């Protein structure tokens, strides 16, 4: 197929899940004659407007992927991309990438814009958390930053507080600004993970990292595909539309009170989804093709006047 297609260039500003990006790059080139150039090879320290302008002059980029670890320096990326390439189509909006860096920002956005989505309560201050604990509500304490470089996922969850003493012990080594305090929905052996690529969505089970167990069998560790409720599916898709994301992941828990969304990740690794790489590449190609057809249609209309 690639031999019959005009060569196109897309850019990536990516320093997360590089092995996944490499597989996508290979698939795009082989099947669609699309070359993917990662503009982050030199790191954030040298990433600036002049650098990006230089790369964009060398490669006529028609599409951009932004996939970042959570760092304060990311502001350089957001500012530079908006300044230098405001008209290039981006996979997942810059705003969505920025919002998903912070769990607080993510759930504040959902609470304000996706009214029918069930989410655990968020406690924005220690005073709110103390009040909740006093009334018998348990709290799960997480790091607010979502994709911290070189930090194992297990260590992003600090623990469960059943009372004020537990909470103080858990947060003792942290600044309040580093923390995300969320209502604990009780013990669940597994968490469901929904992966979205465009209009495609699949759900798998994943063992809950809160309950470490070295004696789990291979079957118990396996990610098993599971059916996803149609109503929940529509709400997950709505979250993506609201945020401006077309490739993302959602963690949710089944409870007696319904399905609760407990985490959102812009552009997850898809390691547990074998067909993920090909579907992502197909999705990128379809977006570029539709954009080109739209531009050709607009040029044709203008030429008639």
* pLDDT recorded at residue 149: 86
Top pLDDT among 66 and 5 is at 66
Top pLDDT among 216 and 143 is at 143
Cross-strand pairs, 195: 202, 249
pLDDT for residue 38 is more than 70: yes
2-92+273-303 CATH:
3.40.50.11950
pLDDT for residue 219 is more than 50: no
Q: Say whether 259 sits in a helix, a strand or coil.
A: strand
Q: What is the mean pLDDT of the chain?
A: 88
Q: Which residues contact 107 (CB under 8 A, 6 or more apart)?
A: 119, 122, 182
pLDDT in tens, 93-116: 999 999 999 999 999 999 999 988
Instruction: Determine the Cα–Cα distance for residues 260 and 167; give it in Å rounded to an integer.
Output: 23
* pLDDT recorded at residue 215: 54
* pLDDT recorded at residue 275: 94
* pLDDT recorded at residue 218: 45
- C-alpha distance from residue 262 to each of 71, 74, 119, 200, 225 (Å): 22, 24, 6, 21, 19
Residue 190 pLDDT level (bands cut at 50, 70, 90): confident
Q: In what order do the strands lie in the sheet with 122-123?
A: 122-123, 179-183, 139-143, 157-161
Q: Where are the alpha helices (DSSP H) in 154-256?
A: 164-171, 218-221, 230-243
Instruction: Determine the Cα–Cα distance for residues 291 and 293; give it in Å rounded to an integer.
Output: 5
Top pLDDT among 304 and 130 is at 130
Instruction: Determine the Cα–Cα distance for residues 62 and 10; give it in Å rounded to an integer.
Output: 6
Which of 203, 195, 209, 207 is closest to 267 using CA atoms? 195
Spell out a b/e string for 81-98, using b for 16 or more CB atoms within 10 Å of the CB, else e.
beebbeeeebbbebebbb
- C-alpha distance from residue 298 to each of 222, 279, 285 (Å): 49, 29, 20
pLDDT for residue 209 is more than 60: no
**CB 93 within 8 Å of CB 222:** no
pLDDT for residue 217 is more than 70: no
Top pLDDT among 214 and 110 is at 110
The proportion of the chain whose per-residue pLDDT surpasses 90, expressed as a percent, equals: 72
Residue 5 pLDDT level (bands cut at 50, 70, 90): confident
- The pLDDT of 242-259, averaged and rounded, is 95
- The pLDDT of 146-166, averaged and rounded, is 89
Which of 112, 110, 107, 109 is closest to 123 using CA atoms? 107
Instruction: Determine the Cα–Cα distance for residues 158 and 87; give it in Å rounded to an integer.
Output: 41
pLDDT in tens, 168-183: 999 999 999 999 999 9
pLDDT for residue 295 is more than 80: no
* pLDDT recorded at residue 1: 59
* pLDDT recorded at residue 2: 64
- The pLDDT of 24-44, averaged and rounded, is 90
pLDDT for residue 208 is more than 80: no
Q: Where are the domains of the chain?
A: 2-92+273-303, 121-184
Within 119-233, strands assigned E span 122-123, 139-143, 157-161, 179-183, 190-197, 200-207, 225-226
pLDDT in tens, 62-90: 999 999 999 988 999 999 999 999 999 99
Top pLDDT among 41 and 233 is at 233
* pLDDT recorded at residue 207: 63
pLDDT for residue 197 is more than 70: yes
- The pLDDT of 29-48, averaged and rounded, is 85
Q: In what order do the strands lie in the sheet with 190-197?
A: 225-226, 200-207, 190-197, 247-255, 258-266
The proportion of the chain whose per-residue pLDDT surpasses 70, expressed as a percent, equals: 88
- The pLDDT of 254-267, averaged and rounded, is 94
**CB 117 within 8 Å of CB 108:** no
**DSSP structural state of residue 249:** E
In terms of phi and psi (left: phi > 0; alpha: psi -120 to 50; beta: otherwise), the region of 104 is: alpha
């Amino acid at each position: 197929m690639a031999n019959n297609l005009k060569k196109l260039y897309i850019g990536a500003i990516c320093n997360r899940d590089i092995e996944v990006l490499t597989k996508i790059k290979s698939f795009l080139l082989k099947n669609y004659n699309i070359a993917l150039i990662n503009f982050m090879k030199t790191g954030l320290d040298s990433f600036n407007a002049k650098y990006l302008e230089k790369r964009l002059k060398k490669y006529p980029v028609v599409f951009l992927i932004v996939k970042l670890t959570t760092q304060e320096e990311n502001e350089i990326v957001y500012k530079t991309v908006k300044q230098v390439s405001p008209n290039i189509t981006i996979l997942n909006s810059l705003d969505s990438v920025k919002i998903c860096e912070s769990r607080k920002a993510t759930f504040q956005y959902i609470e304000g814009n996706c009214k029918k989505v069930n989410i655990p309560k968020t406690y924005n201050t220690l005073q709110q958390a103390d009040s909740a604990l006093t009334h018998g509500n348990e709290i799960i304490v997480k790091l607010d930053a979502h994709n911290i470089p070189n930090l194992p996922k297990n260590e992003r969850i600090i623990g469960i507080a059943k009372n004020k003493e537990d909470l103080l012990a858990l947060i003792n080594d942290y600044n309040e600004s580093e923390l995300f305090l969320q209502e604990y929905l009780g013990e669940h052996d597994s968490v469901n993970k929904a992966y979205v690529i465009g209009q495609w969505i699949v759900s798998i089970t994943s063992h809950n990292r809160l309950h470490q167990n070295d004696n789990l069998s291979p079957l118990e560790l396996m990610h098993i595909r599971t059916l996803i409720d149609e109503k929940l599916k529509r709400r997950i898709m709505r979250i993506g539309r609201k945020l401006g994301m077309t490739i993302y992941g959602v963690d949710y828990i089944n409870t007696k009170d319904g399905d609760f969304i407990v985490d959102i990740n812009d552009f997850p690794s898809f390691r547990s989804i074998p067909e993920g790489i090909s579907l992502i590449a197909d999705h990128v190609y379809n977006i570029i093709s539709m954009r080109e057809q739209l531009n050709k249609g607009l040029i044709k209309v203008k030429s008639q006047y």
